[in-house]
């Protein structure tokens, strides 16, 4: 019974394999690489549904942008580029640290896996913090769709001037039309960045669990599927942002 | 021994550097008036960045053919979503860009 760990339950001798099984190998797989392959494929099928989920929103964006381009250009111009650019750098950096934590797990470096995961959590949190600042800024400028939305509004005497909406921009839209259609842009802005942020929050919660598991020494070079799958999810969220950044922040910046 | 492909550290660092350069490029390009090409340039850069992330950070370059097909399929489905829905809107008598055509 030298094989006590791998075949703790069930009679050992009838088993066809001569070598010891990895404790993480599920009984319906023959080898660890087969199990890993199935896991990666399954994760990608999930990500496929995510791509379509965001795809619908990107379509809505494309359609309304083609209809109300002037409103999209004016609304996009009102968004500060710098926080968005910093967030782009932060999120891509978090993808790097995530990739390095997967690499550390592949090469059996427990301490490094934990450290890179913590770095990913910190960078993800910085992203969300900057997002909070940006959202607060939109509330302050009445750029949140709803009853108090204000964009192309002409201020009454004595009223504080809220926004120089279409400065230097030729549009065939009247102020009412612009007010209505910029609201569509900001609805898409909040839906898309909001769903993206929810994905990040979910990702950070999962990262905490994975970090704990890594800290406990649950992974080795043969089995680190949770780190790898979390990595795939995290990189997907990064890719969504790679598209959101130019589409929401950089519609028309020249002139 | 693990059968998993382990990328060298330099791969991750150079992909990160490339992503940074492309991010700077997309901001820079937005300030240049390229007319109709502005969104084309922005999306092309985004697609290149996404491809780099998928191939190297997500290891699809080293994945099985079945995984590769699944990845391509997901974007193919989005292309169908865009094409069919745009066709619908375009053939309902609604102008696609009512405010741009002055």
pLDDT digits (tens, 9 = 90+) for A135-173: 999 999 999 998 889 887 555 555 554 444 444 455 667
Residue A68 lies in a domain: yes
Determine, for residues A85 and B23 on separate chains, whether the beta-carbon distance falls below 8 Å. yes
Residue A156 lies in a domain: yes
Distance CA A203, CA A178 (A): 37
Percent with pLDDT over 70 in chain A: 85
Determine, for residues B67 and A235 on separate chains, whether the beta-carbon distance falls below 8 Å. no
Measured in whole angstroms, the distance separating CA A246 from the mean position of its chain's CA atoms is: 15
Residue A171 lies in a domain: yes
**Does B36 contact chain A (CB < 8 Å)?**
no
Q: pLDDT tens-digit profile of A174-205? A: 778 888 899 999 999 999 999 999 999 999 99
ipTM of the complex: 0.92
Residue A240 lies in a domain: yes
Residues of chain A in contact with residue B13, where contact means CB-CB under 8 angstroms, are: 96
**Does B100 contact chain A (CB < 8 Å)?**
yes
B94/chain A closest Cα distance in angstroms: 9
Measured in whole angstroms, the distance separating CA A69 from the mean position of its chain's CA atoms is: 26
What CA–CA distances, in Å, run from A129 to A144, A195, A240, A246, B83?
18, 15, 18, 20, 37
Q: pLDDT tens-digit profile of A61-90? A: 999 998 888 899 999 999 999 999 999 999
Sequence-ordered list of residues with C-beta below 8 angstroms from that of A43, at least 6 positions apart, any chain: A229, A232, A233
Residue A70 lies in a domain: yes
Confidence grade of residue A8 (pLDDT, cut at 50, 70, 90): very low
- Run of H or E residues at A249: helix A225-249
pLDDT of residue B90: 82
Considering only CB atoms, B6 lies closest to which of A40, A107, A245, namely A107
In the numeric block, the tokens 């055509």 are attached to B101
Max distance between CA atoms of chain B, in angstroms, equals: 67
Q: Which domain holds residue A40?
A: 32-249
Mean pLDDT of chain B: 90
Distance CA A18, CA A11 (A): 14
Q: Which two tokens stand for residue B60?
A: 């699809």
Instruction: Assess contact for A124 and A117: CB atoms under 8 A.
Output: no
Residue A194 lies in a domain: yes
Residue A180 lies in a domain: yes
CATH number for the domain including A58?
1.20.120.80
Measured in whole angstroms, the distance separating CA B72 from the mean position of its chain's CA atoms is: 12
A140/chain B closest Cα distance in angstroms: 25
B102/chain A closest Cα distance in angstroms: 7
pLDDT of residue A176: 81
Determine, for residues B46 and A243 on separate chains, whether the beta-carbon distance falls below 8 Å. yes
Its pTM surpasses 0.90: no
| Domains contained in chain A, number | 1
């Amino acid at each position: 019974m030298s094989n006590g760990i791998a075949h703790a339950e069930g009679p050992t001798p009838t088993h066809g394999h001569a070598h010891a099984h990895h404790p993480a190998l599920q009984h319906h797989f023959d080898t660890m690489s087969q199990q890993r392959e199935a896991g990666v494929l399954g994760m990608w099928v999930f990500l496929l549904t995510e791509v379509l989920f965001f795809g619908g929103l990107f379509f809505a964006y494309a359609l309304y942008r083609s209809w109300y381009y002037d409103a999209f250009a004016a609304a996009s111009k009102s968004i500060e580029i710098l926080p968005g650019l910093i967030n782009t750098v932060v999120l891509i950096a978090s993808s790097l640290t995530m990739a390095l934590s997967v690499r550390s797990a592949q090469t059996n470096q427990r301490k490094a896996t934990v450290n890179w995961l913590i770095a990913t959590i910190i960078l993800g949190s910085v992203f969300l913090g900057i997002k909070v600042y940006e959202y607060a800024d939109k509330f302050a400028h009445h750029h949140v769709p709803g009853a108090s939305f204000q964009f192309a509004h002409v201020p009454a005497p004595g009223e504080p001037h809220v926004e120089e909406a279409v400065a230097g921009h030729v549009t065939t839209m009247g102020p009412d039309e612009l007010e209505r259609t910029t609201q569509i842009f900001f609805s898409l802005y909040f839906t898309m960045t909001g769903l993206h942020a929810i994905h990040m929050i979910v990702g950070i919660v999962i990262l905490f669990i994975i970090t704990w598991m890594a800290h406990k020494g649950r992974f080795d070079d043969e089995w680190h599927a949770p780190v790898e799958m979390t990595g795939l999810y995290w990189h997907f969220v990064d890719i969504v942002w790679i598209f959101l950044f130019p589409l929401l922040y950089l519609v028309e910046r020249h002139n | 021994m693990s059968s998993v492909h382990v990328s060298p550290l330099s791969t991750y660092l150079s992909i990160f550097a490339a992503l940074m350069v492309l991010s700077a490029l997309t901001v820079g390009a937005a300030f240049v008036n390229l007319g109709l090409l502005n969104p084309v340039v922005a999306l092309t850069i985004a697609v290149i960045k996404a491809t780099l992330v998928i191939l190297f950070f997500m290891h699809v370059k080293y994945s099985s053919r079945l995984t590769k097909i699944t990845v391509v399929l997901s974007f193919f489905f989005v292309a169908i979503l865009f094409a069919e829905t745009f066709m619908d809107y375009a053939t309902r008598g609604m102008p696609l860009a009512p405010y741009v055509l002055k």
